[in-house]
A and B are shown apart, each in its own frame.
Chain A
């Protein structure tokens, strides 16, 4: 019997990444490029300079890069960015829904504005990006969508009322889109990172007692890093995961295992 070797590469595939500025978005752009993908790095207009830097680094890895402004809360912005990426590359094989915000406040202090912003970016924005790119993928008859959820979409934590609700929504939206779009050979999966050290939460991490409390909850004994997510995202984007859909994979050093 022939040995069938599925590839853990994404050679020649086109990936669109939202929130592709610093932190997780940047690590995923470089990781997917190293695995062979051409990258469309999208960011909020004010953060576009970060996406430009990522594009330079993607090209240094020998892959093509495109930078587009994309505000996930604005449906017109989604439509024009997706059209521009498709026009440029002729296709979109992989969508990484990474754009997100996290407002950390006790539940009693959360305002309607806090709630709406979190849900507009993390859930509504993610859905409409998936819808726009999903249409392209359905026409192609193939595609891979990877949502960056959170361990706080699976378990609760202090100060995360609006964030955890939005991420739990992402986890179940992932299941529904997986079921609905299986007929187009679009797989839809999510990753659930633990508390990941990025430039976005430097301020939160200046409290040693807080960091100690987090690390004590992570059996592997350290905070997550953006690079920890690269292997899982490349796997989910590659032919290795063709039978995997609707899943949320925890990359949390064991936080949710106990």
Chain B
């Protein structure tokens, strides 16, 4: 018996990294999954194929979460394909090459805020009515330890991810009595393709962490001293998506190997 049997999950950023790992795990636990991707069509197809190979049900859709019409269409596509939506994992995110705040390009700032913060808002805005129609649901937003801990060079990303905490808490309060729980995950340093932005030399972000940048980060990530994996974050997303966390709402949960405990 799966922990998400009978449920439908919409996963943004589902083509790679944390979103992909969560899509595979949710499907393994019985959910039918809509894999949403902004531009990564081939990888989204591959995620769906992997789910189907394992005996699960999935479909994929292209959409830029920062655009209201796209966000709305991702929700209507999910409902049209699978009849309902019970779980929304907002994993879509972008970052920009690190630079000090006074060098951050204003348009690049807008882009990060548009995808990482406004995109999650828009997905929630259009998904919540569908969840209310179905009697409730669980929303899991993927923030970052950078929402709470300052790291040089990450102004836009940190601001967007910190915004997700306030967004999560507000939504948790607004919909608690109507069957929708909203929680936020704070992953630590997790080896995903996003890190290729920070380190173009990270040739194969889908493989094991390698290269100077990976070694440097691992040496700095106290106390656990290693990168996290997308699967480790997906396991916590599953906990927050499933009924075993039915009394948890408005909570923040870091999956960071103790980084924020220091």
A contacts, CB < 8 Å to B: 1, 3-6, 8, 174-176, 178-180, 182-183, 194, 219-221, 224-225, 228, 230-232, 234-235, 239-247, 249-254, 256-258
Contacts and interface: CB of A to CB of B under 8 A. Distances in A.
A194 B206 CA distance: 40
Given A231-B239, A234-B244, A250-B251, 11 more contacts: A1-B50, A6-B235, A174-B261, A179-B222, A182-B257, A182-B258, A232-B248, A243-B257, A244-B253, A244-B256, A249-B248
16 contacts: A4-B21, A178-B258, A219-B177, A219-B250, A225-B247, A228-B246, A231-B242, A235-B239, A243-B229, A243-B255, A244-B253, A246-B262, A257-B172, A257-B173, A257-B251, A258-B250
B253 A257 contact: no
Nearest to A219: B176
5 nearest A-B residue pairs (beta carbon): A257-B250, A246-B261, A231-B244, A219-B176, A182-B223
Nearest to A218: B176
A153 to B, nearest CB: 14
Contacts of B177: 219-221
Contacts, number: 148
Interface residues of B, number: 47
B191 to A, nearest CB: 12
Contacts of A176: 261
A140 to B, nearest CB: 18
B71 interface: no
A81 B117 CA distance: 51
Nearest to B188: A243
B260 interface: yes
B77 interface: no
Contacts of B236: 235, 240-241, 243-244
Contacts of A220: 176-177, 247, 249
B138 interface: no
A135 B258 CA distance: 20
B238 interface: yes
B25 interface: yes
Contacts of B45: none
Contacts of A179: 222-223, 258, 261-262
